[in-house]
Chains A and B, each alone.
Chain A
Amino acid sequence: MSAKFISIEGITRRFQAPDGSQTTVFEDIWFAIARGEFVCMIGHSGCGKTTVLNILSGLDLPDDGAAIVDGKAIEGPSLDRAVIFQSHALLPWRTVLGNVAYAISSRWPKWSRSQVEEQARRFIDKVGLKGAEGKKPAQLSGGMKQRVGIARALSIEPKILLMDEPFSALDALTRGTLQDEVRRICLETGQTVFMITHDVDEAIYLADKIVLMTNGPEAMVAEIVENPLPKERDRNQIHRHPAFYAIRNHLIDFLVSRSKTFKSEIPADYDRRKPPVILPQNQPQPLPPSHEAGRKVA
């Protein structure tokens, strides 16, 4: 039962061009997410990743097929599914506390003011923004704004967290800390997460499963990669794990070449309804010569 908490069943999305022609962004996509799983979707721009996420959030509807959550087809946005937007999408006329409280009072309209405020402060604390409650978004750095977006999404205690490249607009250092925090919070609460990213390392660090999309238009799910790394991982140590380069190379190979060519050389046993699940294993990786040399000097 828990294997299919979220089930994407044959969704297709077409867009009408102004000249009347139709573009199919992606077609007949199937995959599933189990409860408590962290799933990343990787693919090049234009493959419809954001559209898939919008369908999951209920902001967009598929032309064909259905996205099913907990046995019910998604028909519109729901407070059970919180979205962290790429552009943080904070309401600039509200303070940090006001932005988070807005979500909470939408979730629990009957709550008293103090209850709402208490919950808001708890989650602002959780993302490390204590002391910034009274600030307006314009007074915050990009990283802090995204923290508020994360606090807002988590504060309504959603069943599913949807993230659309939440860290892509941040500098590398901030991105790292935020990834750590999101990972920590999601692990603590057993949050089910679907996240879109461009960043292979981000996906390896955060995800349990990685869904690979071929290039659009008419994109499809090429395969689903299981992350061979243990659930307990340390950002500074994962590159020493024997399977790290196996999965990293697999993902990069896909993005560099197979995302383009996959459609022309679809394997004979490929089934759209059950995209192949791959578990990259540690194969011996050839060490670059400079690496050996470096070791001797040291």
Chain B
Amino acid sequence: MRQTSLRLRAGIVSLGILLIFGLAWHLAVSGSGPTQQMDPEYAKLMGQTAVQGKSAMPGPLDVLVKIWSHLKEPFYDRGPNDKGIGIQLAYSIGRVLLGYGLAMLVALPLGFLIGMSPLMARALDPFIQIMKPVSPLAWMPLALYTIKDSSISSIFVIFICSLWPMLINTAFGVSSVRKEWLNVARTLEVGPFRRAFTVILPAAAPTIVTGMRISIGIAWLVIVAAEMLVGGTGIGYFVWNEWNNLSITNVITSILVIGLVGMILDQALARVARAVSFPE
């Protein structure tokens, strides 16, 4: 009962903050500034800011209207420069999942190898240490040059940025499996494959999933930047395109949508983390 009331109170406070923020936003953009008399032709170019004193910054209501229009028709396709936000999101999510999936296929087995072999851990350490801090976007030119396809290049960039946290966490998780559990497997004469899947994997799973959660977060951050760079499709391209169209409402809408999708991805992995965690 105490807990539900805390939740309820927190919800009320959240709602209050949202209302105050919305109101402040609304007031900040609805005030009229000084207007100038000017040539109508020139006024057309200057927009409402100059003529009516209206702020160019959209208010919360404008954004809500925009979101509603996107929700009504998320998947329309009117040529390369005008696709629904749903289509753009689908492109981005698809790229992220592809790059992330490929990174998983490489990072998990390689992490196992590094975690189980002190030799490989030491041998690969310098490469990992140098590659890990490189901004994934720095790979973009190289990817574009070798792959010669902008879409696949952005998938590659996602791959490379998701790789490191998963690899490092897998290796760490595998190498720090409690000795006594391994001894149990040894005294039971459990073979290497069965040991990997029945002792090491479950013991390391919480650490591995933590790495995967970090990776998906980074991947979602990077895809926006990558798509801004390569253009064509995707939510990152959409943001930049709308900036070029000077549609601030669309930019704000995309910010909200990007945040929402990022949260869903993170929560999905949090759920996986709960499923594989075990109390000691």
Question: A interface vs B, CB < 8 Å?
Answer: 57-59, 76-79, 81-83, 85, 87, 89, 91-93, 102-103, 106-107, 136-138, 156
Our pick among A77, A103, A107 for the contact of B186 (Cβ within 8 Å) is A77
Given A136-B279, A138-B278, decide whether A91 and B187 contact each other with a Cβ distance below 8 A: no
Question: B interface vs A, CB < 8 Å?
Answer: 180-181, 183-184, 186-190, 194, 198-199, 202-203, 278-280
Inter-chain contact B187/A58, CB cutoff 8 Å: yes
Given A91-B181, A91-B202, decide whether A83 and B187 contact each other with a Cβ distance below 8 A: yes
Inter-chain contact B279/A103, CB cutoff 8 Å: no
Inter-chain contact B279/A85, CB cutoff 8 Å: no
Inter-chain contact B189/A79, CB cutoff 8 Å: yes
Residues of B within 8 A of A85 (CB): 180, 183-184
Inter-chain contact A78/B189, CB cutoff 8 Å: yes
Residues of A within 8 A of B189 (CB): 77-79, 106
A107 and B190 CA atoms in complex are apart in Å by: 9
Inter-chain contact B278/A93, CB cutoff 8 Å: yes
Given A89-B180, A91-B181, A91-B202, decide whether A59 and B278 contact each other with a Cβ distance below 8 A: no
A57 and B185 CA atoms in complex are apart in Å by: 12
Q: List 30 A-B contacts (CB under 8 A).
A: A57-B187, A59-B186, A59-B187, A76-B186, A77-B187, A77-B188, A78-B189, A82-B187, A83-B183, A83-B187, A85-B180, A89-B180, A89-B181, A89-B183, A89-B184, A91-B181, A91-B184, A91-B199, A91-B202, A92-B278, A92-B279, A92-B280, A93-B202, A102-B188, A106-B188, A106-B194, A107-B188, A136-B278, A138-B279, A156-B188
Residues of B within 8 A of A87 (CB): 180
Within the complex, the shortest CB–CB distance from A82 to chain B, in Å, comes to: 7
Q: Closest chain B residue to A156 by CB distance?
A: B188
Q: Closest chain B residue to A78 by CB distance?
A: B189
Q: Closest chain B residue to A104 by CB distance?
A: B188
* Contact residues of B: prevailing secondary structure: helix
Residues of A within 8 A of B187 (CB): 57-59, 77-79, 81-83
A59 and B189 CA atoms in complex are apart in Å by: 11
A82 and B187 CA atoms in complex are apart in Å by: 7
Closest 10 A/B residue pairs (Cβ): A138-B279, A106-B188, A89-B180, A93-B278, A77-B187, A77-B186, A92-B278, A93-B202, A83-B187, A92-B280
- For A76, A89, A138, the residue with the greatest tally of chain B CB atoms inside 10 Å of its CB is A89
Residues of A within 8 A of B280 (CB): 92, 137-138
A219 and B186 CA atoms in complex are apart in Å by: 27
Q: Closest chain A residue to B202 by CB distance?
A: A93
Q: Closest chain B residue to A103 by CB distance?
A: B188
Within the complex, the shortest CB–CB distance from B19 to chain A, in Å, comes to: 44
A3 and B188 CA atoms in complex are apart in Å by: 27
Residues of B within 8 A of A83 (CB): 183, 187
Residues of B within 8 A of A82 (CB): 187
Residues of A within 8 A of B183 (CB): 59, 83, 85, 89
- For A57, A77, A83, A87, the residue with the greatest tally of chain B CB atoms inside 10 Å of its CB is A77
A46 and B257 CA atoms in complex are apart in Å by: 63
A76 and B189 CA atoms in complex are apart in Å by: 9
Inter-chain contact B181/A106, CB cutoff 8 Å: no
Residues of A within 8 A of B203 (CB): 91, 93
Q: Closest chain B residue to A106 by CB distance?
A: B188
Residues of B within 8 A of A89 (CB): 180-181, 183-184
Residues of A within 8 A of B180 (CB): 85, 87, 89
Residues of B within 8 A of A91 (CB): 181, 184, 199, 202-203
Within the complex, the shortest CB–CB distance from A53 to chain B, in Å, comes to: 11
Residues of B within 8 A of A76 (CB): 186
Within the complex, the shortest CB–CB distance from B70 to chain A, in Å, comes to: 44
A269 and B199 CA atoms in complex are apart in Å by: 51
- For B188, B202, B203, B279, the residue with the greatest tally of chain A CB atoms inside 10 Å of its CB is B188
Within the complex, the shortest CB–CB distance from A95 to chain B, in Å, comes to: 11
Within the complex, the shortest CB–CB distance from A1 to chain B, in Å, comes to: 26
Within the complex, the shortest CB–CB distance from B183 to chain A, in Å, comes to: 6
Q: Closest chain B residue to A91 by CB distance?
A: B181
A136 and B202 CA atoms in complex are apart in Å by: 14
A174 and B278 CA atoms in complex are apart in Å by: 26
Residues of A within 8 A of B184 (CB): 85, 89, 91
- For A82, A87, A102, A156, the residue with the greatest tally of chain B CB atoms inside 10 Å of its CB is A102
Inter-chain contact A79/B278, CB cutoff 8 Å: no
A102 and B197 CA atoms in complex are apart in Å by: 12
A136 and B277 CA atoms in complex are apart in Å by: 12
Within the complex, the shortest CB–CB distance from A153 to chain B, in Å, comes to: 9
A138 and B280 CA atoms in complex are apart in Å by: 5
Within the complex, the shortest CB–CB distance from B115 to chain A, in Å, comes to: 18
Q: Closest chain B residue to A152 by CB distance?
A: B184
A57 and B187 CA atoms in complex are apart in Å by: 7
Q: Closest chain B residue to A57 by CB distance?
A: B187
Within the complex, the shortest CB–CB distance from A128 to chain B, in Å, comes to: 22
Residues of A within 8 A of B186 (CB): 58-59, 76-77
